[in-house]
Chain A
Amino acid sequence: MGLTVETYASAAEAARALAAAQDARYLGGGTLVMRAVNYGDQSFRRILRATDPALGRIAAQGGRISVGAGVTMAEITESRELGFLAPAARAVGGPAIRSMATVGGNLFAAHPYGDLAAALLALDGRAVLADGREQALDELFAARGRGQQPLVTAVTIARPERGAFRFRKVSRVKPKGVSVMSIAAWLPRSGGRIAGARVAYGAMGPTPRRVPRVEQALEGRTLDAAGVQAAVAAAAEGLDPPEDAIASAWYRRAVAPVHLRRLLLEEDG
Chain B
Amino acid sequence: MSSQTRVELRKDLFADERDDNLNEIGRPTARQDILGHVTGRSPFFDDHQFDGLLHMRCVRSPHHHARIRRIDIAAAERMPGVRRIILGRDVPHNLNTLLSLIDFGRDDEPLLATGKVSYVGEAVAAVIAETERQARDAVAAVRVDWEVLPHVLDPEEALAPGAPIVNETWPRNVFEYHDKYTHQKLRFGDVERAFARPDVEIVEGRYQMSPIEQAPTETCGAIAAPETNGRYVCHTSTQALFFSLGTTAKLLDMPSSRLHFIGGTVGGGFGGKVDSLHEPLAVLGAILTGAPVKYIWDRAEEMQVGAPRGAERWYLKDAVTRDGRIVARRFRGYFDCGAYTRLSSYAVQKATGHLPGPYTIENVSSDVYCVFTNRTPATAMRGFGITGVDFAIECHMDKVAERVGLDPIELRILNAYRDGDMKAHRRLAKNTALIECCQVAAEKAGWPIRPEFAAMSSLTGGGGDRAAIPETVTDEEGRVDGTPAARPAPRPAAPAPAPAPATASTSARPAAPATRPAAPPATPPAAPPVAPPVSAPAPAAAPAERPQERPAQKPYQPQEPFTRGVKKPGAHRFSSLSGTRRR
Contacts and interface: CB of A to CB of B under 8 A. Distances in A.
B133 A3 contact: yes
B32 to A, nearest CB: 27
A40 interface: yes
Given A39-B298, A39-B300, A40-B298, A1 B136 contact: no
Contacts of A42: 133, 136-137, 140
A46 to B, nearest CB: 12
Please tell me the size bucket of the interface on A.
under 10
B134 interface: yes
Contact of A1 (B134, B298, B300): B134
Interface string A2-39: 11000000000000000000000000000000000011
A38 B299 CA distance: 10
B298 A2 contact: no
Interface string B265-301: 0000000000000000000000000000000001110
Contacts of A2: 81, 131, 133-134
Given A40-B136, A42-B140, A1 B299 contact: no
Contacts of A38: 298
Interface string A68-111: 00000000000000000000000000000000000000000000
Main secondary structure of the interface of A (DSSP, over half): loop
B412 to A, nearest CB: 34
Nearest to B300: A39
Contacts, number: 21
B297 to A, nearest CB: 11
Among A2, A3, A38, the one with the most B-chain Cβ atoms within 10 Å of its Cβ is A2
B140 A1 contact: no
B62 interface: no
Contacts of B81: 2
Nearest to A3: B133
Nearest to B301: A40
Interface string B96-137: 000000000000000000000000000000000001111011
Nearest to B134: A2
Contacts of B131: 2
Contacts of B80: 1
B249 to A, nearest CB: 31
Contacts of A40: 132-133, 136, 298
Interface string A30-56: 000000001110100000000000000
A42 B132 CA distance: 11
Contacts of B133: 1-3, 40, 42
Which of B80, B81, B133, B134 has the largest count of A CB atoms less than 10 A from its CB?
Answer: B133
Contacts of A39: 298-300
A223 to B, nearest CB: 39
Contacts of A1: 80, 133-134, 137
A34 to B, nearest CB: 13
A42 B133 CA distance: 8
A203 B490 CA distance: 48
Interface string B288-329: 000000000011100000000000000000000000000000
A3 B133 CA distance: 8
A3 B132 CA distance: 10
A265 to B, nearest CB: 33
A1 B132 CA distance: 10
Nearest to A41: B136
Nearest to A40: B136
A39 B132 CA distance: 11
Most buried by B among A2, A3, A40: A40
Interface in A131-168: none
B78 to A, nearest CB: 13
A39 B297 CA distance: 10
A42 B131 CA distance: 13
Contacts of B298: 38-40
Contacts of B299: 39
Nearest to A1: B80
Contacts of B136: 40, 42
Interface of B: 80-81, 131-134, 136-137, 140, 298-300
7 contacts: A1-B133, A38-B298, A39-B298, A40-B132, A40-B136, A42-B136, A42-B137
Given A2-B131, A40-B298, A42-B137, 12 more contacts: A1-B80, A1-B133, A1-B134, A2-B81, A2-B134, A3-B133, A38-B298, A39-B299, A40-B132, A40-B136, A42-B136, A42-B140
